[in-house]
Structure 1
Amino acid sequence: MLYGQSVKHSVTITSPDKKLKIAVNESDDNVVYSFTANGQQLIKPSVIGLDSVGKFHWLQSSLNHVKQTWKPVWGKRAAVPDEYDEVLIDGAAYKIRIRVYNDGFAFKYEGANAEKELSQFNFADNYTAWYYNGENKNIGPEKLKDANGIRMPVMTIRADSNHYMAIHEASLESGEPLLLKSNQGTTNFTVASKRAKAWRVVLFGSTPGKMVDSHLIELLNPEPAKGLDFSWVKPGVAVWDWRINGAEAKGFKYDMSLPSWKRMVDFAAGNNINTLVLDADWYGPEFNKDSDPLKGGKIEQVHQLLNYAQAKGIGIWLYLNDVGGKTYPLDQTIKQYGQWGAVGVKYGFMNGSPEEKNKHTQVITKLCAENKLLVDFHDGPVHPYGQMRTWPNAVTREYCHSQLDAHRVFQPSTFVTAVYVNMLAGPLDMDNGVVDMIQKGRVDNPTPVPSTITAEAARTLIVFSGTTIIPDIPENYLKHPQILKFISAEQMPWKESKTISGEIGEYIVMARKSSDYKWLIAAATNENARTLSIPLSILDKGEYKATIIEDGKDADFRTNKESYAVSTLTVSYGQKITVHLAPGGGACVLLEKTK
């Protein structure tokens, strides 16, 4: 409680494993909560409530325990425990609902239309934090007291080596997307955005990787409406026509037209890759209002491509700019794309306020679902907040600094920060997986990639996405058959995922089990070289052939990007694999069961 105020009512809610505790008290002037993990207070008494026309009067509270299982259409794993303890506090003017899971807690307000909420996050000490920063590198590491002004979620916090938190929101039905305001010189953050109908979420993990593996954000969203069938949703790897533009191989020059598209389809069909993404300008200049998304540009070539790809079992994504989406009837456009046989819509450059963009995003997602189309939002999208549970066709979005995008190139430390910040919100379209590390001749940003070829392959597995879009041409992948085999083995939906180890801004090691029961492990580091010992405790019983791709001894993201070595081992559960990561480098391990 706040100093000098008497407690009228109180309730304590613990996580199912009893390691997390939320204490809620009604004082003379307000309601406050505090958060303790493993006996250590991480959030001091903080105000919770609304600036409502009716004062909150604690009438009663009721406790509830829920234990069930969510089986997503696709996701990080095939089955997700959904267990929590919940309290509903009736305050006459409105109600406060709080849920506590083993990996965090969330609260929301019900039954009031106040414009302003009073929610605070008053951290117990001057912790270190990182924040989403649009299509730029993340803000941080930054001490809480040094933060000044508005910060965007996800806000990831390191209290100490055993206590990590992240602030975000879930199930944003309406209102302005979450913004946080720091009170400079203090450890107190408040909600700066206008009143929204959403959950306020605090993720918790004893390591940052445990937050990466969490499903709390999705679990706070409702299941799909009854009668909606999403069995047609097929996640997987995709090739892309934007970054191939200008590349040359064996006398052929790639561009964004039918001959290049057919080559990409042929490559996809031969390498267990699901789809091809067509990017901007296929129906005319994307920002021109005269570009008709149903009749303009290369429409005849697209129709030929759709027929060609369908015969090969490859799906085609179609790009749609906000100008075309709003100048022409959106429902007709999306319906037509579905009837043509497209598999997805990549929607770019949405305009409007954050609140307007969220509403329009919901409309597009619903229209795509009704027409059996996947959807990917690019260019400053509304942050993910667990939509993939309600709308499994919402497979990814560019809620990150996309690699080599818009003439900005991120550094190795950018990647190993974003996976612990942006990726906590949901699936990301980061476009990793370059194999031509020089990118000479490309029309868009022909800049050398500040990474190693091994790290590029590793990133395709590490980044969680329902559509993993790889950016290079077939001939370049075919030069590196072991790397191509690793990427092709990323068959979704994942049976299981686990972040084995890592630290924010330093490195990450990720393991995923494919739909055909292969295990894949990938590691990536920042600008520092490191040697990692990876325990194989994720494996099932039996023996596995491990194909290990690691940076060469002379590899370096600044000077020697393409040096790598391939080796094989026979391994089993409980053993360890040691890999070398060059500066800016990575490692990939493909584990195929033999016994």
Structure 2
Amino acid sequence: MKKLLSALILFAGMSLHAQQVTSPDKNVSLTFSLSAKGEPVYALTYKNKPVIKTSKLGIDTKDIPAMLDGFAIDKTETATFDETWAPVWGEQKSIRNNYNELLVTLSQKAVGGRYIRIRFRVFNDGLGFRYEFPEQKDLNYFIIKEERTQFALAGDHKAFWLPGDYDTQEYSTTTSNLSEVRGKMKTAVTPNASQETFSPTGLQTPLMLKSKDGLYINIHEAALVDYSCLSLNLDDKNMVLESWLTPDAVGNKGYIQASAQSPWRTVIVSDKAGDILLSKTILNLNEPTKFKDVSWIKPVKYVGVWWEMITGKSTWAYNDLTNVHLGDLDYSKTKPNGKHAANTAHVKEYIDFAAKNGFDGVLVEGWNEGWEDWFGKSKDYVFDFVTPYPDFDVQELHRYAASKGIKMIMHHETSGSVRNYERHLDKAYQFMADNGYNAVKSGYVGDIIPRGEYHYGQFMVNHYLYAVTEAAKYKIMVNAHEAVRPTGLARTYPNLIGNEAARGTEYESFGGNNPDHTTILPFTRLMGGPMDYTPGIFQTRINAYNPENSSYVHTTLVKQLALYVTMYSPLQMAADLPETYNKFMDAFQFIKDVAVDWDATYVLEAEPGDYITMARKAKGKDEWYVGAITDENARTATINFDFLPKGKTFTATIYADGADASFDKNPQSYAIRTIKVTSKTKLTQKLAPGGGAAISIK
């Protein structure tokens, strides 16, 4: 059902008193007005508690008068909207989009009556607002010097933050009061293949906050298109966050041609942590899908030739040469290093394992020429994305995988050379289509070429979307790594089936992720869309694969199972090696069973940085799955089964940490038991330090 009511109030240039709009349930209230200087300002409350105090809005421009002050309100328009829509894939079968809207038209008499619009949408769980630039005589083409959107906070909130960076989100989350950010920034910035921090108080979005009076607040953006990625700079004396956009190679932060609009700036708020996890406001602020036919877009559970290379057991490269020019080398005349994993025989082993255990696909990295000599070299032409190494038979593997009912997932590492990738993109996608690949994992490791551009600038934002829309022409799904963090665009372009854009499982082999890492990511990185976190590591001691690597996974084996429920993605990898899974087939059964597409999601208990317990109903099935995870502290999870249909009895298989389990000392200790449950069942389940629990209900 869709309902749209509008009212128009004309003011003929007269000044307006404050305008107020509340959410449909009356809990969230937005107030908009102009200051004495004609500055647009807004404030937000939740259940009469301040969320955002009076904060300025505006755009500072480089080549035309700024859009910061001197405004008058020409008119306001209000509307109410209510619809229910069905995502192509997702955490829920249907999503309600219900908001009250205020659209304010502002004019600047000093600039020939130039006008802009600010559109506010107030949902039951928060706010979205954006700037709109209609085409007009005095506003055509302009350059953004900086966006001046403020979020004035009501106190020194507890924050779950990443250092502000133009090039990476692959940091561990730091938890501290906002007043402590400056003092903790130096240790929070750890090495990465590409990074560019911008301020001692710079922060990334999504930014998760908790106030001292119990409000959970999340600040992010939605529908990032043809605009620079939003970060925040903290005035730690006044507790004011202000927008900070990623610049381009010459320092400009955006090139706008009217008619145009900014992404939505989002503030999600609740007095319950679980409501933040269930929010669909960011998705609702994106447009419906652009595709008429979505039948080719399918959630995927996959295995792949990847973890053995991350751990150092094997290599992406075919040989050990160190001075390679693509096209000048006949690889068949070089000596293989004997550790190249992407060879035909080995990949067939993964295909066999996938087929035997009911998986959908197999990812292969390191299949194509060029891996020997690129990392950190800033070379423009490294890969052509169509030429395999001599030991990788594309056509034979296509035939073999098809005979087993398995789809192959191709890997495109761009080496940061975006110009080169776009040069080869159509040919690469056609090559995929010709050889039975319907999904690609793209990578953007290293500094961006053209040099001086950043991963999160307008140039790259446009590139990522270009790659997705071009892929759709070939019915290819995209899983982009090292790309900009998602902002709900998967609603509009549902072939964007996965993203990395955060510190993933690979870091467990690079020194480890903190035990609280995955209790925070759903409140931060996952707010804008799913993450290809690549869980399922059973052999948690990396030296079992590579004696020279002393890292270990900072979870128990059972927590790895629980992540399939708590870390939502329609693209889920069983990331460990087949030979390891064959040793733990009773525990591996949960990975085989767990769904990747859902009818309903329930948050049973949650606290960012401490614990999450979630339940989900599998799409189109009478099956439910529960995941409970904790940080480095042991705890007892309380699991209420009232999400089950009333009056029926189900069989629950519980995968639990062993009595002596812990992430650092005994991670592979687990126990499996079966009980009968109904909607009235309440279970208390112990979780080991860094541990979890996983339950399948049928």
Assess same fold via TM > 0.5.
Answer: yes
Judge which range, 478-487 or 95-104, deviates more.
478-487
Per the TM alignment, residue 326 of structure 1 is displaced from its structure 2 partner at its CA by 3.8
Per the alignment, do residues 236 and 540 of structure 1 end up closer, same or farther by CA in structure 2, a change over 3 Å counting? farther
User: Once the two structures are superposed, what CA deviation does each residue of 1:252-297 show, in whole Å capped at 9, x if it has no partner?
Assistant: x993322221121122122221111112353441737354321232
Q: 1:155 and 1:394 mapped to 2: Cα distance?
A: 23
| Per-residue Cα deviation, 1:517-538 (whole angstroms, up to 9, x for no partner) | 3100011111110111211121
Question: Which secondary structure state, in structure 2, belongs to the residue aligned with residue 174 of structure 1?
Answer: coil
Aligned residue among 457, 472, 475 for 2:579:
475
Shift of 1:56: 2.4
Say yes or no: does 1:588 pair with 2:683: no
Distance (Å, rounded) in 2 between the aligned partners of 1:413 and 1:363 = 35
Q: C-alpha distance in 1, partners of 2:24/2:655?
A: 41
Query: Residue in 1 aligned with 2:300?
Result: 236
Contact 1:83 1:101 in 2 (8 A): yes
The answer to which of 389-398 and 446-455 deviates more is: 446-455
2:568 & 2:404 partners in 1: Cα distance?
27
SS at match of 1:190: strand
In structure 2, the CA distance between the partners of 1:232 and 1:299, relative to structure 1 (3 Å rule), is farther
Instruction: Tell me which residue corresponds to 1:341.
Output: 436
Task: Give, in angstroms, the shift of residue 62 of structure 1.
Answer: 0.9
Match of 2:629 in 1: 524
Displacement of 1:237 after TM fit? 1.6
The alpha-carbon distance between structure 1 residues 161 and 558, as it changes in their structure 2 partners (threshold 3 A), is farther
Tell me the distance in 2 between the aligned counterparts of 1:442 and 1:57: 67
SS in structure 1 at match of 2:26: coil
In 1: Cα distance, 2:390 partner to 2:127 partner: 50
- Letter of the aligned partner of 2:597 in structure 1? P
- Secondary structure of 1:577's counterpart equals strand
Does residue 191 of structure 1 match 2:254? no
2:532 corresponds, among 421, 429, 436, to 429
2:667 alignment partner in structure 1? 561
1:192 maps to a residue whose letter is W
Structure 1 window deviating more from structure 2 (236-245 vs 117-126): it is: 236-245
> Is 1:10 equivalent to 2:31 in the alignment?
no
Match of 1:170 in 2: 222
Deviation larger for 422-431 or 53-62: 53-62
Amino acid at match of 1:376: N
Asked whether the 8 Å contact 2:368–2:383 carries over to 1, the reply is: no
Task: Tell me the equivalent position of 1:543.
Answer: 649
Partners of 1:47 and 1:263 lie apart in 2 by 59
1:288-299 equivalences in 2 (<5 Å): 289=381, 291-298=383-390
Equivalent of 1:382, from 463, 484, 490?
484
Tell whether the 8 Å contact from 1:236 to 1:490 is kept in structure 2 after alignment.
no
Alpha-carbon distance between aligned partners in 1 of 2:554 and 2:226, rounded to the nearest angstrom:
40
Letter in 2 for 1:236: V
SS of corresponding position for 2:18: strand
Contact 2:535/2:564, CA 8 A, preserved across alignment:
yes
Tell me the equivalent position of 2:504. Answer: 402
**Counterpart Cα distance in 1 of 2:96 and 2:480:** 29
Correspondence for 2:5 = none
TM-superposed deviation, 1:239: 0.7
Tell me the SS of whatever aligns to 2:614: strand
Say if 1:7 and 1:25, in contact at 8 Å, map to a contact too.
no
Residue 96 (structure 2) aligned to one of 69, 81, 93: 81
Name the amino acid aligned to 2:347. W
Q: Is the 8 A contact 2:602 2:615 kept in 1?
A: yes
CA contact (8 A) 1:146 1:185 kept: no
Deviation of the 1:220 alpha carbon: 0.9
Distance 1:342 1:280 in 2: 16
Contact 2:571/2:596, CA 8 A, preserved across alignment:
no
Which residue number corresponds to residue 124 of structure 1? Answer: 154
> In structure 1, what is the Cα distance between the partners aligned to 2:104 and 2:269?
23
- Aligned partner letter, 2:629: A
Q: SS of the counterpart of 2:465? A: helix
Instruction: Return the alpha-carbon distance in structure 1 between the equivalents of residues 525 and 344 of structure 2.
Output: 35
- Secondary structure at the aligned position of 1:129 is classed as strand
How far does residue 502 in structure 1 lie from its aligned partner after superposition? 1.4
Consecutive unaligned residues of structure 1, counting only runs of 5 or more, are 1-5
When residues 445 and 279 of structure 1 are mapped into structure 2, their CA distance, relative to the original with a 3 A threshold, is farther
Is 1:155 matched up with 2:190?
no
Q: Which moved more, 1:364-373 or 1:472-481?
A: 472-481
CA distance in 2, matches of 1:344, 1:299: 22
Query: Does the Cα contact within 8 Å between 1:433 and 1:471 map onto a contact in 2?
Result: yes
Partners in 2 of 1:58 and 1:298 — Cα distance? 68
Alignment deviations for residues 561-582 of structure 1 (CA, whole Å, 9 cap, x no partner): 1111111111111311221101
Where do residues 185-264 of structure 1 align in structure 2 (5 Å cutoff)?
185-193=237-245, 194=253, 197-225=262-290, 228-245=292-309, 255-264=341-350
- Asked if the contact 1:242/1:256 (under 8 Å) is kept, the reply is no
Q: Name the CA shift for 1:558/1:417 in 2 (closer, same or farther; >3 Å).
A: same
Gap change, CA 1:145 and 1:90, over 3 Å in 2: farther
Number of the residue aligned with 1:3: none
Q: Which residue of 2 aligns with 1:135?
A: 170
Q: Say if 1:61 and 1:298 are closer, same or farther in 2 by CA, change over 3 A.
A: farther
For residues 116-158 of structure 1, give each alpha carbon's deviation from its aligned partner in whole angstroms, at most 9, with x where no partner exists.
3321100111111112352120132233574542111111010
**What is the TM-score normalised by the length of structure 2?**
0.79
Taking a change above 3 Å as real, the CA distance of residues 399 and 517 of structure 1, as seen in their structure-2 partners, is farther
Say if 1:247 and 1:254, in contact at 8 Å, map to a contact too.
Answer: no
Q: In the alignment, which residue of structure 2 is the partner of 1:313?
A: 405
Conserved? CA contact 1:396–1:465, under 8 Å: yes
Q: Distance in 2 between matches of 1:462 and 1:578?
A: 18
Do structure 1's residue 33 and structure 2's residue 42 form an aligned pair? yes
Q: Does the Cα contact within 8 Å between 2:412 and 2:440 map onto a contact in 1? A: yes
Instruction: State the TM-score, normalized to the length of structure 1.
Output: 0.93
Letter in 2 for 1:89: V
Tell me what 1:110 maps to: 132
| Matches of 2:382 and 2:54, distance apart in 1 | 57
Structure 1 residues 296 and 282: alpha-carbon distance in aligned structure 2, compared to 1, 3 A threshold = closer
Change (3 A) 1:114 1:562: same
Per mean C-alpha deviation after superposition, the further-off stretch among 53-62 and 215-224 is 53-62
Q: Report if the CA contact (8 A) 2:289-2:493 is conserved.
A: yes
Q: Residues 474 and 410 (structure 1 numbering): CA distance in 2 closer, same or farther, change over 3 Å?
A: same
Match in the other structure for 1:91: 106
Task: Note the C-alpha offset of 1:470.
Answer: 2.0
1:331 aligned partner: 426
Q: 1:68 aligns to what?
A: 83
State the AA in 2 paired with 1:344. Answer: A
Whole-Å separation in 1 of the counterparts to 2:47 and 2:356: 51
The match for 2:330 is none
- Give the equivalent residue in structure 2 for 1:439: 542
The structure having more radius of gyration, on CA atoms, is 2
Distance in 1 of aligned mates of 2:607 and 2:122: 25
Partner of 1:100: 122
Letter of the structure 2 residue corresponding to residue 424 of structure 1: M
**What is the CA deviation profile of residues 383-440 of structure 1, one whole-angstrom value per residue up to 9, with x for unaligned ones?**
1011110110111111211113372410211221222211212111111110112233
Determine the C-alpha separation between the residues in 2 that align with 1:570 and 1:416. Answer: 29
Q: Is the 8 A contact 1:239 1:275 kept in 2?
A: yes
Taking the aligned partners of 2:308 and 2:394, their CA distance within structure 1 comes to 17
CA distance in 2, matches of 1:535, 1:322: 46
SS of equivalent residue, structure 1 residue 412 = coil
Q: Compared with structure 1, are the counterparts of its residues 179 and 522 closer, same or farther at alpha carbon in structure 2 (3 Å cutoff)?
A: same
SS at match of 2:490: helix
Give the paired residue count: 582
Shift of 1:208: 2.4
- Give the corresponding residue for 1:24: 32
Contact 2:652 2:697 in 1 (8 A): yes
Pick which of 285-294 and 37-46 moved more: 285-294
What do residues 30-49 of structure 1 show as CA deviations (whole Å, max 9, x unaligned)? 12111110121121111123
